[in-house]
Structures are given as C-alpha cells and as structure tokens.
Amino acid sequence: MFSLTVCDHIMIAHSFRGEEFGPAQKLHGATFAVEAEFRAPKLDHAQLLVDIGLAKTELRRVLDTLDYSNLDEKPVFSGINTTTEYVAFHIHGLLAAACRDGRMGDGGRAVSGLKVLVRESPNAWAAYEGPVA
C-alpha cells in the first residue's frame, strides 16, 4: 500500500459542553496541525499517488472553511463538541468528497483510504481513518 501525506494548519476558537471537559468548557482555542494521508494500492503512469499540488490546494480549501473562526458559531457543528477527534472526522468527510468529486484528478478518484490526523498540542493528537468511497 502506498500513501502520500500533506500538512497544513488552522487556528480556531471553540468551547465544549459537558462536565467531563472541565476548564475546556470555557471559550478557548487551538492551533490544529492537520496531516492528510491519502492511500492507494498503486501509483499512476507518472509514479504519482495523487498530484501533491492538488492535494495541498484541496486541503487548504477544506481548512479555509474552518480557519480563523469560532467553531461554536458554525451551523455544521450545532449541538456537537468539536473535539480533536471530531474535527479530524469532519475534515475527513470533506477531503473524501473532494477525492470522489474529481477535484484531485484521476489520482484522487483512485484513492482507497484516507487518514486525517489533527495535532492539538505537542503531546496530544487525534485521527480518523476510513474509506473514501
């Protein structure tokens, strides 16, 4: 299995609901460093998994929907805690759609698996991996 990973980051505000979150129930924020790992069983005729330029562009486009915002105010997250796990899942959904929709070319359509890893601090991160189709 081959994989190609590209990275970028966002800076967001949010808060959590639920006593288990302790002080994180207050409005705070995070730099989320995001690693998008595209997987495929083979490379194309040019020895590429996906065009790395397109991959970076699509990751940036997806992250722009969240960057420099307060996630608490986004309708898409209504009633949802934007934990690092959930943010990884959310980004996974958007990037998987970009693969299916052809935004990442033929390479994107051939992607069989996608893992999105989100680092919230030097010593904690979360990820979601699943099929693209």
Which residues of this protein are in contact with its own copies, per CB under 8 A? 1-9, 11-14, 16-18, 20-24, 26-31, 33, 43, 46-49, 51-53, 56, 67-70, 80-86, 88-89, 120-130
Residues 6+ apart with CB under 8 A from 123: none
The residue (of 23 and 75) whose beta carbon lies closer to its own copies is 23
The least CB distance from residue 7 to its own copies, in Å, is 4
The residue (of 100 and 113) whose beta carbon lies closer to its own copies is 113
Question: What phi, psi does 121 have (nearest 5°)?
Answer: -165, 170
The residue (of 92 and 98) whose beta carbon lies closer to its own copies is 92
Query: What whole-number distance in Å separates Cα of residue 54 and Cα of residue 34?
Result: 16
The least CB distance from residue 99 to its own copies, in Å, is 16
Cα 29 to Cα 16, 24, 44, 48, 71: the distances in Å are: 11, 9, 40, 37, 9
Amino acid type, 20: E
The least CB distance from residue 65 to its own copies, in Å, is 12
